[in-house]
Amino acid sequence: MRARRLGLVLLVATIASAGVLLRGPPLWLLDWLAARYPGCLFRIALQAPLVALTLDDGPDPATTPLILAELRRHSARATFFLIADRVRGQEDVVSRIVAEGHEIGNHFTHDRPSIRLPEDQFTRDAEESGRVLEPYGPVRWARPGSGWYSRAMVATMTGHGYRCALGSVYSYDTTIPWVAYSVWYIRRNIRPGAILVLHDGGGRGERTIRILRAVLPYLQSQGFRVVSLSELAGEAR
């Protein structure tokens, strides 16, 4: 009997997980997480048709310029969460991001789960990446690697002048390399005040270019304006 109940629980959990994968997490769950584990922004409740676009893991010499061209073509703005150890040698690309009206955010020094770092190492990571990024302009936002965070991490980010931002529309583009799925997922889940998460660099960046070519015209046709995180937060104020 116990094994049967366990099997039923696992079946329900599997079905629920598949539902989240297909439809995305319900907004009430994101709001509950934001309230239960405060300090990171998932979305902003708005009536205005604005969505924030965020792009992780750049800069990349091949894909970032093409992403910028796609954004320019559709008069869209974005927040680029950059990994500091990828900036060296790509200074011109970072300067171009800022010059074209986008903003940069701190995605820390290396591509790794920030939650696994000891507290003092996470602090050093925030300081080191900040020193690399701040010469290019204001850096208001931080996003911990892999998206997991703790209260101590939030305190460190806040203490260094950053506001933590995650997202509400994440199409699993790092694990499901299928452009059509990402496009469908974004169209289904986009709402006013949403924060959309995509990725730059290598094959992920190439998929993002194709996703943007489909998603940006769709958002425009639905009356949405695509903006940076700071623009979205400013609208809420």
Catalytically active residues, by annotation: 56, 199
Q: Measure the CA–CA gap between 220 and 51, rounded to whole angstroms.
A: 11
Both ends of the chain: CA-CA distance in Å? 55
Task: List, in sequence order, the alpha helices (H) in the chain.
Answer: 2-23, 27-36, 63-73, 91-99, 119-133, 151-159, 179-189, 202-221, 229-236
Residue in 47, 36, 131 with CA at minimum distance from that of residue 82: 131
Q: Measure the CA–CA gap between 39 and 19, rounded to whole angstroms.
A: 27
Residue in 206, 218, 211 with CA at minimum distance from that of residue 183: 211
